[in-house]
Structure 1
Amino acid sequence: MEQTAKRDNPHIDPSLLETDPKTGLGQDEVKRRTEKFGENRLKDDQISALKKLLSFFWGPIPWMIEVAAILSAVVQHWSDFAIIMVMLVLNAGVGFWQEFKADNAIAALKQRLAPDARVLRDGAWSDLPARELVPGDIIRIKLGDIIPADAKLLSGDYLRVDQSALTGESLAIDKKIGDEVFSGAIARQGQMTAMVTATGMATYLGRTASLVKGAGKQSHFQRAVLRIGNFLILITLGLIALIMTVALHRGDPLMETLLFALILAVAAIPVALPAVLSVTLAVGAEKLARMKAIVSRLVSIEELAGMDILCSDKTGTLTQNHLTVGTPVLIDAKDECDLIRTAALASEADSHDPIDSAVFAILGNRAKLDGYDITSFRQFDPVRKRAEAEVTHDGQTIMVAKGAPQAVLALLCEDEISDIESVAAYRAVMDAIKTMAEHGYRALGVARTDKDGNWQFLGLLPLFDPPREDAASTIAELRNKGVDIRMITGDHEAIGREVAGQLGLGQNILPADAVFDRNNHALDQVMIEQADGFARVFPEHKYAIVRQFQDRGHIVGMTGDGVNDAPALKQADIGIAVSNATDAARAAADLVLTAPGISVITSAIEESRRIFERMGSYATFRISETIRVLLFMTISILVFDFYPVTAVMIVLLALLNDFPIMMIAYDNAEVAEHPVRWNMGNTLTMASLLGAIGVTSSFALLWVSETWLHLPPEEVQTLVFLKLLVAGHLTIYLTRHKGFFWQKPYPSMKLFLATEITQIIGTLAAVYGWFVPAIGWYHALVVWGYALCWFVVAGCINVWVYRLLTHRHHSHHSHLARVEGSLHRHR
């Protein structure tokens, strides 16, 4: 519990500790130190909003969209140009908004800085803005104050400080002269004078802010989109360059060839890829919001689907963050009611002290205190370590006390400096305290005087921070979904093990100093990997733990509620702030829970895995479509010297494809049993397979149309157009899940209607000659039957290849698991 007080502050300059505590600093010295150390506030290194916004128009995906926009303008397709520009601005806007995450976290951290401080300067006390404090200032800290800077306590009776939001310790800490207090903590009891030792970014809070600012990484989603986009761009540009080279070599008209190449590039380059995936994520975010989980960074949804380790803060996340009294241990008390009533008489009902609140909570009805009049009360202080009260009852005056067991036992001695071990109750009390400590409980001693004025030790009240009611069931569900839980706490490991036992977690809870050196470098990565949790951690430890798991290939989630959790929340692939989180934690998180507890995380994981399946469906479809159309066009032009579709048909295909593609975001999708992540090898394999099948079937139709049916070139082009449209839309059904197309989950009504209506529109255009040469109903129905036959064949091949890839993947991971297991046994 006391590790914070003992921790060294590397920012203290010994020369600054020579301030006269009776007069404080002079104005000249204050000015000199302000120039040297700056104002007492967190740094704001923001670049201009315009510069930040413009940065999102530079990069592979923006270049991809910008090239398409330029090509559209060159061929004067202004409607396409307008749509593409909207997509470009939309993607830049989404990225611009996400970039504010670190800045928002810093702004929230600033809110914890005290607005004013009581300062001694030139021998006079005055209230000054906290930002004007400098190292060496003498300040006064009293009940309810937010501590304005890191400071060393100089004088005063005692101070009890709540620093749970900074360090994660569940109990308020008693401070004494010489101890250090941290900026942003709250004084709960007492009053003391202190000397400022660090301000601004040099404070404990400032160092936390620095970690938040430097935390974060590119998401797996962003890397996957870049790889898909780059893959398609390279294929498109390569094939178009080949078409133009051969066409120009054959003597084809330059402008006709250039125009066709430009139109083909506009249709083939996946300008909608980021937008469609963002829409899919946005639709999912809307559903998560209805589940009381607010998404602040869209790409974090994909990370949530692949999360395989969840690092969870204990205090306030797995536990309720308020003290509770456990089963009392009776020594001389008549019964539990007698013990609890006496403890309540030695407590203040409306105190900020969490121990007093816990005692009155277990007391229940305050009518139990009727007839007991408190004539005097002496608050708890860290020197005496107990609270005492004088009580009148039935005409008699008695004394009651509660506090540290040893301090209460001392009352039983005739002389408090006598050997406490001589007290009759000593052995029973010490045995009970030892048992409580082994279970992570803090013992509270209670005593009362009898009618003769002799003190009696009534018993002990165990104090603990109870787990949330839904925590154990949530952890079990998460494990069933393949997510491993690691508990992180600022409390002692004994407390961590007790809570872990109640929640069904493992007992291998390691103190942070056992796995990290002074520079927060891992001492043993295997030890970290095998730990069930970590105790006595500071914000930099939480941050380092997350980084260690990420470096070992895990997709890491982090839940928390305090300022001390903010760096780890920001660094994690998916940071989750619970419902009672501080503003700093909410600003640093990707997912903010608005309902109590963490049970909503399981629902969010299920929804995120559905969203992941939809994104994978679109990516596979888009790659296969590009391969199918481009490769078919290229071979037709190069080998047969024939343009199988016209430029108008290419634009019409692109427009009719957009509607069902957008509806993929609303499709029904299966939920994976285990964490999922992008497997680009499998995605490209499946997309290439479907694309190759499409090319083969298109060439077969082209050959039949010209060789057997001897149709005019214009009608052949319409047949090919209709086949590309119908077969392309049917491919959506093949890519939407891994089983046969007739198996559940069935397509959503929105996707089904959008797909079939656009197919019907394209069919009517081919039959009646809207924008393309007419072919009549007979040939149109033949194309439909032909496409459906290939659809069944492609579906069977698709399932067979996917199962083959899955089998190889599982075999590979089983082999790795066996190797790792043997290595661990060897160690």
Structure 2
Amino acid sequence: MNGVPAPAGRGLTDAEVRDRVAAGRANDVPRRSSRSVPEIVRANVLTRFNALIGSLLVLVLIFGQWQDGLFGLVIVANSAIGVVQELRAKRTLDRLAVIGETPVRVRRDGAVREVAQQDVVLDDLVVLGSGDRIVVDGDVVSSDGLEVDESLLTGEADAVRKAAGAHVRSGSFVVAGGGAFTAAKVGRDAYAARLVEEASRFSLARSELMTGINAFLKYVTWLIVPAAVLLFVSQFSAARSASEAVVGAVAGVVTMIPEGLVLMTSIAFAVGVVRLGRRRCLVQELPAIEGLARVDVLCVDKTGTLTEPGMDLADVVVLRGDLPAREALAALAASDPDPNATMRAVLDGLPAPAEPWEATGTVPFSSARKWSGAAFGGRGCWVLGAADVLLGPGDPSRRRASELGAGGLRVLALARVPDGSFGDPDRLDVAATAEPAALAVLRQRLRPEAAPTLRYFAGQGVAVKVISGDDPVSVGAIARALGLDGAEHPVDARTLPGDPAAMAGVLDGNSVFGRVGPRQKQAMVRALQSRGHTVAMTGDGVNDVLALKDADLGVAMGSGSGATRAVAQVVLLDDAFATLPHVVGEGRRVLGNIERVANLFLTKTVYSIILVVLVGLAHVRFPFLPRHLTLISSLTIGVPAFFLALAPNAERARPGFVPRVLRFAVPAGIACGGATFAGYYLATERPSGGFTDESTTASLALFVLTLWVLVLIARPWNWWRLGLVAAMGAAFAIVLGVPPLRRFFALRTGDTRNDAVALAIAVAAAALLTVVLRYVPALTARLGRGKA
């Protein structure tokens, strides 16, 4: 296989591989992208709310009528919908994970093959090249300048040289050179697998949204216990029989449970995963969808993000006619066992030397050094790298390189260095010893979707920072061509201050940075985060891994190195930078819609608690049967929440999810609970047709108020949202107007006087609630600013 190192040894035979697979010695590790089917079923069925609702259902079936047990269907619905949606997301994720996995090169029967990561077996001879992720543990058998970054395991960012006999561990990745190692530990025995098997699984956790919802559920659980005790005690003293007391108490407790909130959140996330999967976007962790919606700074690497991975050799500017510059450049490219995009462009653009140059020693490219080189016996030592690194400040060739780079071209310098210079390449001062021979001018391919994508982020208030290892002038020219604001004054990252606070100030004021090293990229991400920014980082090369790992959200290109894909939360499998706006849109849809859904469910919980407290203090019978609240909750919360959770929503994400929901749900719940109890209490003071008439009066008041809450939550209004509200109102009217349905739900419309009084109270409460929600928060904020 062209471009693959050829390690010594033939590797395993096919028969030996089959024997090891049969013996269970393959690299079988759980996929990061999804949990197993039993875990999905268990997580959606065995919940504390299902257990609580199931217990209450048993009480109703024992002491009441089966119609009052309709709320038990929520157990089946929640569990079934949750399982189906997550299984659907699992299939999408697993399929994309297989597509997005980096294959591993192994040597078997004397030939190098690409196999899936899980097909690596014990004693396999694994071939390594720059950018490769090491997926199993083993011992190096051959090294060609092999350097490995173990920062993901040890936290140390310095590359470690690996000679023959050295040990390599899974979870590290190659930053320079190549070689091969023998797999000594595979599957769950490998070092990284033991560390991350549990921590890196597909999860709904670790997000502001889920943290807020869990906080709501915790508070609700604390409130349910004393409220339920109060309700049971009051009902046994107010009801005519034990059966009535139990049914009334169950009705109150069931309403307090926000049983659909977690379900709707899970569905919204899962549907987002499926939608993005159709765009060839692999979301390796669910909170990544939420994360990009909150991002206000997007750091992008030029190569692979703004430009396509491939390049074309535009010209070779010979600086000294007495040096064989073109032959040396072609020989350097041919000597690289694992050529990167630059070397592939040179290979394609120059013919091989008439007489082959035999490399006697090589120095692989490193992002820290920014050059690579090779020694060719009597033909000398040659290096190729960044012009401003290989050429001295006063060299006229450096000025020529800057002029070419200002037009958006990538310019590399070819130079000859004294023989024996490669003894310790990291200490070599190439600029002081190099003899400039030529400039290799490369034309980069701009991504057609880059400019409109940058315009989208500018319009959404997301600051884009181009962070590249290339020459800042060249990077700035490309950014200007794409219309990026602030590209007129690119910054050389070597001049950035080391202090994080000072660095953050420079980052806030500029958009384009060149000559950025791997550790400096990481420092820049941390500096932006220190200013309170939520930072996303895109990249495709090993020099981006540290920054991707530390960013709030890492986005890797599908054609990038295995290391970048391993640490990123989102992988763009088809390298489409234009997919990012769709990821942002999905995140905003999830966050905005779940906030609406949370408002609905928490409003129900608050008004239930208010009703329970007032009923307990007044020592009256609870105003509803469970079937009344099942009807009202279904029409004003359950059905609307399903549509609202999946609807389009382009609202920008804002911090403060929990306070915002509470500012709506608490006054809305107080208005619903207080007005409903007032209408019911007045009805009990003028008894006419007994409990059925009184509960019908309470049901009318509560439905009108909760329908108005739905109207407020559905803003900004459009045809389908208003149509949804109208459909729910029509459904309630049909129940009241059709005698069999009315009898089924134990409703009666005979007491016009009480119903009119209750409706009047509900309308007044709705008007007051609208005023409170409209003006009180603004007034509070104004008073707060005045005190400040």
- TM-score w.r.t. length of structure 1: 0.64
Structure 1 residue 732 displacement after superposition: 0.9
Residues 30-68 of structure 1 deviation map (CA, whole Å, 9 limit, x = unaligned): xxxxxxxx9996977999958856873799xx2133212
Report the counterpart of residue 751 of structure 1 in structure 2: 724
In structure 2, the CA distance between the partners of 1:22 and 1:352, relative to structure 1 (3 Å rule), is closer
**Cα distance between partner residues in 2 of 1:463 and 1:508:** 22
8 Å contact kept, 1:293–1:594: yes
Q: 2:776 aligns with which of 759, 784, 801?
A: 801
Match of 1:229 among 194, 198, 217: 217
Out of 451, 463, 486, which is 2:442 matched to?
A: 463
Q: Give the secondary-structure state (helix, strand or coil) at the position aligned to 1:460.
A: strand
> Is the radius of gyration larger for structure 1 or structure 2?
1
The superposition leaves residues 613-670 of structure 1 with CA deviations (integer Å, 9 ceiling, x where unpaired) of 2211111121112222441343135316243223332233234342223222244545
Amino acid at match of 2:643: M
| Paired position in structure 2 for 1:578 | 557
- Cα contact 1:277–1:615 (8 A) shared by 2: yes
One-letter code aligned to 1:797: V
Map 1:151-190 → 2, pairs under 5 A? none
Gaps of 5+ in 2: 1-6, 12-23, 111-118, 153-158, 365-370, 382-393, 417-435
1:518 counterpart residue number:
none
Alignment of 1:638-677 (within 5 A): 638-639=617-618, 641-657=620-636, 658-667=638-647, 669=649, 671-672=651-652, 675-677=653-655
Contact 1:215 1:567 in 2 (8 A): no
Contact kept, 8 Å, 1:318 with 1:471, in 2: the verdict is: yes
Judged with a 3 Å threshold, the aligned counterparts in structure 2 of structure 1 residues 801 and 715 are, in CA distance, closer, same or farther, namely same
- Relative distance call for 1:355 and 1:110 in structure 2 (3 A) is closer
What SS class does the counterpart of residue 105 from structure 2 fall into? coil
Alpha-carbon distance change, 647 to 344 in structure 1, aligned in 2, over 3 angstroms: closer
Query: What residue identity is the alignment partner of 1:650?
Result: L
Asked if 1 retains the 8 angstrom alpha-carbon contact of 2:359 and 2:375, the reply is: no
Q: Aligned in 2, Cα 1:588/1:728: closer, same or farther, shift over 3 Å? A: farther
* Cα gap change, 1:412 to 1:341, in 2 (>3 Å): closer
Secondary structure at 2:745 match in 1: coil
Q: CA 1:258–1:560 in 2, change beyond 3 Å: closer, same or farther?
A: farther
Contact 2:227–2:612 (CA under 8 A) maintained in structure 1: no
Query: How far apart are residue 229 of structure 1 and its match?
Result: 2.0
Evaluate the alpha carbon distance shift between residue 74 and residue 446 of structure 1 in structure 2; reply closer, same or farther with a 3 A threshold: same
Contact 1:91 1:274 in 2 (8 A): no
Distance 1:342 1:111 in 2: 33
Q: Could you tell me which of 673, 697, 700 is aligned with 1:722?
A: 700
Q: Which residue of 2 aligns with 1:422?
A: none
Amino acid at match of 1:735: I
Q: How many residues align?
A: 688
Distance 1:110 1:287 in 2: 20
Q: Distance in 2 between matches of 1:525 and 1:100?
A: 45
1:239-638 alignment, distance < 5 Å:
239-248=227-236, 253-285=241-273, 287-288=275-276, 293=281, 295=283, 297-325=285-313, 329=317, 353=339, 354-355=341-342, 357-359=344-346, 376-378=354-356, 381=359, 428-429=396-397, 431-432=399-400, 441-443=410-412, 460-463=439-442, 468-486=447-465, 504=486, 507=490, 510=493, 524=500, 527=503, 531=507, 535-537=516-518, 554-561=533-540, 573-581=552-560, 589-594=568-573, 596-638=575-617
Q: Secondary structure at the match of 1:114?
A: strand
SS in 2 for 1:645: coil
| 1:684 shift after superposition | 0.8
Could you say which residue in structure 1 is the equivalent of 2:72?
81
| Contact 2:503–2:527 (Cα < 8 Å) also in 1 | no
Matched, 1:683 2:661: yes
- The answer to whether the 8 Å contact 1:162/1:186 transfers is yes
Q: Does 1:56 align with 2:31?
A: no
Question: Cα distance 1:771–1:465, how it changes in 2: closer, same or farther (>3 A)?
Answer: same
3-state SS of 1:75 partner: helix
Distance verdict in 2 for CA 1:145–1:301, change over 3 Å: closer
Q: 1:287 to 1:115 in 2, by over 3 A?
A: closer
- Mean Cα deviation higher: 289-298 or 64-73: 289-298
Residue type matched to 1:358 in 2? A
- Match in the other structure for 1:772: 746
**Which position in structure 2 is the counterpart of 1:13?**
none
- How has the CA–CA distance of structure 1 residues 692 and 266 changed in structure 2, closer, same or farther, with 3 Å as cutoff? closer
Report the CA distance between 1:717 and its aligned residue: 1.8
Q: Any conservation in 2 of the 1:68–1:265 contact (CA below 8 Å)?
A: no
Q: Matches of 1:309 and 1:208 in 2, distance apart?
A: 32
Q: What is the SS of the residue equivalent to 1:305? A: helix
Alignment match of 1:791 (pick from 719, 742, 766): 766
For the structure 1 residues 50 and 341, does the alpha-carbon distance in structure 2 shift closer, same or farther, using more than 3 Å as the test? closer
Q: Deviations over 1:508-553 (max 9, x none)?
A: 56579996xxxxxxx8466468647693327xx9788778877876
| Aligned counterparts, 1:98-113, within 5 A | 112-113=103-104
Distance (whole Å) between structure 1 residues aligned to residue 9 and residue 282 of structure 2: 51
Partner of 1:69: 54
Partner secondary structure for residue 412 of structure 2: strand
Please report how far the alpha carbon of residue 459 of structure 1 lies from its aligned counterpart in structure 2 after TM superposition: 5.5
Q: Sort the Cα spacing of 1:176 and 1:666 in 2 relative to 1 into closer, same or farther, 3 A.
A: closer
Q: What do residues 257-277 of structure 1 show as CA deviations (whole Å, max 9, x unaligned)?
A: 233222322233111111122
Tell me: CA distance 1:511–1:249, structure 2 relative to 1, closer, same or farther (3 Å).
farther
C-alpha separation between the residues in 1 aligned to 2:347 and 2:595? Answer: 55
SS at match of 2:304: helix
CA pair 495-710 structure 1, distance change in 2 beyond 3 A: same
Equivalent of 1:702 in 680, 692, 696: 680
Q: Distance in 2 between matches of 1:711 and 1:467?
A: 78
Q: Aligned-pair distance for 1:598?
A: 1.6
Task: Give distance in 2, aligned partners of 1:181 and 1:443.
Answer: 35
Matched letter for residue 659 of structure 1? V
Compared CA separation, residues 445 and 551, structure 1 to 2 (3 A): closer
TM-superposed CA distance for 1:714, in Å, is 3.1
In structure 2, the residue corresponding to 1:614 is in which secondary structure? Answer: helix
Root-mean-square deviation over aligned CA pairs: 6.3
Report the Cα distance in structure 2 between the residues aligned to 1:102 and 1:565, rounded to whole angstroms.
Answer: 24
Q: Distance in 1 between matches of 2:372 and 2:35?
A: 55
Say if 1:239 and 1:630, in contact at 8 Å, map to a contact too. Answer: yes
Query: Residues 757 and 578 (structure 1 numbering): CA distance in 2 closer, same or farther, change over 3 Å?
Result: farther
What's the CA shift for 1:248? 4.2
CA distance in 2, matches of 1:563, 1:544: 16
SS class of match (1:67): helix
Identity of aligned residues (%): 19
Distance 2:280 2:207 in 1: 23
Q: 2:19 maps to which residue?
A: none
- CA shift at 1:429, angstroms? 3.8
Structure 1's 428 and 198: CA in aligned 2 closer, same or farther, altered over 3 A? farther
